[in-house]
Amino acid sequence: GGSGKSTLTQLAIALVGIENVFITDLEILEKDKFETANIKDKLLVILQEAVSYKGVKKLKALTGGDRLRFEQKFKQALESFYPNAMVMITSNEPIKTGDYTSGLYRREIPLSMTKRIPDKEQRKLIGHDQENNLVGEFAPFIPGLLNWVLEMNPDEATKIIKDPFTHAPGLLKSKLENLIDTNSIAGWLNEKVVYIDGYETQVGCKSPLSESKEHIWLYANYCDYCSLTGVNAVSLTRFSYLLLDLCKNQLGFSIRKGRNTKGAFIEGLKIRDHLDEEKLPLIEGLYTPLDYRGDEIDGFMTESMTAETSTNDESDGYDGFSSSSEKNQSTAVALLEKPSRVVEPPKEKIEETENNPSQSSSSTSVTVSEEKQAPITHHKIVGRDELIGRIDVEMERLGWTTAIGKDYLVNQYGVSSRQRLTDDQLLEFYQNLKGASLTAKETPKYEIGQFLQGFVPHPMGMVKVEGTVVEQNGDRWLKDESGITYPLTVMEEVKRIKN
């Protein structure tokens, strides 16, 4: 409670008119043969506080525009009718229906309302009294809002409803997360499978007793996932069909089913193994998570993101965050890169100078008068791939090997791959490396070929190394007997020793 779900529902009722609304719940709709008669001539059907329910035959007919029975108690059944109502379903948790086909998935527009308003800040904005009169602080504004809605171009409104993810890309994240939460095949696919064009993996069956086939058979791997997560697995006879429907019709992957001497296989899917550690989860990698909250990211407000991208008063704050020119084509995660320091609101004039060569766009020259408010700092938006590339550069500067990097990730974040870090964690990792490299001290010009000993930073403490001085990219490095090089600028207690 307190997330605004009821307020949104009451607003929809106010706009449509309470006489045009029918409220019921999913179980009654599916079980009661007389319930569909109440939907005739209604414009909005609200299924409130829905819970997981397996049978959704009537819901699919209602949302798909199919005919519904018109039968009332103690009366002769009349001719079936076509419903003309939109459907709104409210729930406190993802609704699991047992229907994994694309029928309902294509029609749903999930809207997650996860920010709870504290009790002391909650207000009665809109509702109805016992006589069905509008009440609440927002009630006087309903006519104006309705006029604004009615002034919309009908074709444009229909276009938005039919393709909401182009106009509100943040909804795609909600939709895919809901799919993962409610579909066991989607959850398994997201965590345990990668897409590789042309790769063939056998469908197989459940692993026979005393044999382990989870690493080579898709269905065996899926059953193992369901066992570990405590969900029921679908039967083998439904598995292939549902997997193809999910990948092709719901997610847009180009896969196919074939058969060879070993049996049925799926082309395009590969069971994830240690070689795929750097690859994003399959479904989560399809959307671009952006932070629309007013929360701070490492001390900087997300308003600076919209300040950089907004070009007019009607901008939704999304355009321009990715390098793609199409709103719905982005595959990189947009990150707000933290500038080197905070710009304090000045009294007369300030000029911010460049003090970090690798962040050339984070510094600007600004003039502020006493009468004007200090402008919002602009930040450069960096994609995950670019940020990982920068991390590689900083690791090389620090002399960190891949093994050292993995040790650090496990120690700090509990994961062994950068791809499993959240956006904030990945950015923090980069900033920590950057800070360490910036504190590197000047070192004397050791002669090439000298044999030295010193200590280098490691996630578990300082590590003693020794080796020969070599030159790389104009700098002096220490190369050990294994061929690993360490920058002398980050080493401590360096001294010469006899070879």
Residue whose token pair is 């065996």:
220
Q: Which residues pair with 257 in a beta bridge?
A: 266
Confidence at residue 455, expressed as pLDDT on a 0 to 100 scale = 80
Give mean pLDDT, residues 164-183: 83
8 Å CB contact between 453 and 499: no
Environment class of 217 (CB within 10 Å of its CB; exposed 0-12, middle 13-18, buried 19+): buried
**Is residue 187 over pLDDT 90?**
yes
Concatenate the DSSP letters of all residues of 248-259 into one string. IIIS----EEEE
Distance CA 286, CA 290 (A): 13
Q: Which residues pair with 138 in a beta bridge?
A: none
Q: What is the pLDDT of residues 59-100, one digit of tens each?
A: 888 888 788 888 888 787 788 888 888 899 888 877 777 667
Range with lowest mean pLDDT among 178-187, 234-243, 293-302, 454-463: 293-302
Closest of 182, 162, 54, 59 to residue 112, by C-alpha: 182
Tokens representing 313?
């008063």
**Is residue 326 over pLDDT 50?**
no
Range with lowest mean pLDDT among 142-156, 314-328, 351-365, 402-416: 314-328
Proportion of the chain above pLDDT 70, given as a percent: 75
Q: What is the pLDDT of residues 28-62, one digit of tens each?
A: 888 888 888 999 999 999 988 777 666 678 888 88
**Pick the residue with more confidence: 136 or 369?**
136
Tokens representing 218?
């898709």
**Pick the residue with more confidence: 484 or 236?**
236
Q: How confident is the model at residue 22 (pLDDT cuts 50, 70, 90)?
A: very high
Distance CA 227, CA 271 (A): 17
Whole-structure pTM over 0.75, yes or no?
no
**Is residue 331 over pLDDT 70?**
no
Distance CA 78, CA 37 (A): 9
Distance CA 453, CA 496 (A): 6
Give mean pLDDT, residues 383-406: 79
Q: Which residues pair with 427 in a beta bridge?
A: none
Arithmetic mean of pLDDT over the chain: 74
8 Å CB contact between 247 and 269: yes
Neighbours of 416 (CB within 10 A): 13
Q: How do the residues of the chain divide into helix, strand and coil, expressed in percent and rounded to 5? A: 35, 20, 45
**Is residue 280 over pLDDT 80?**
yes
Distance CA 211, CA 362 (A): 57
Concatenate the DSSP letters of all residues of 146-163 into one string. HHHHHTS-HHHHHHHHHS
Q: State the angle between helix axes of 402-413 and 423-438 in degrees (0 to 180), rounded to the nearest 10.
A: 120
Confidence at residue 499, expressed as pLDDT on a 0 to 100 scale = 61
DSSP class of 367:
B
Distance CA 465, CA 445 (A): 19
Q: How confident is the model at residue 203 (pLDDT cuts 50, 70, 90)?
A: very high
Q: How confident is the model at residue 195 (pLDDT cuts 50, 70, 90)?
A: very high
**Is residue 299 over pLDDT 50?**
no
**Is residue 409 over pLDDT 80?**
yes
**Is residue 118 over pLDDT 60?**
yes
Give mean pLDDT, residues 166-173: 80
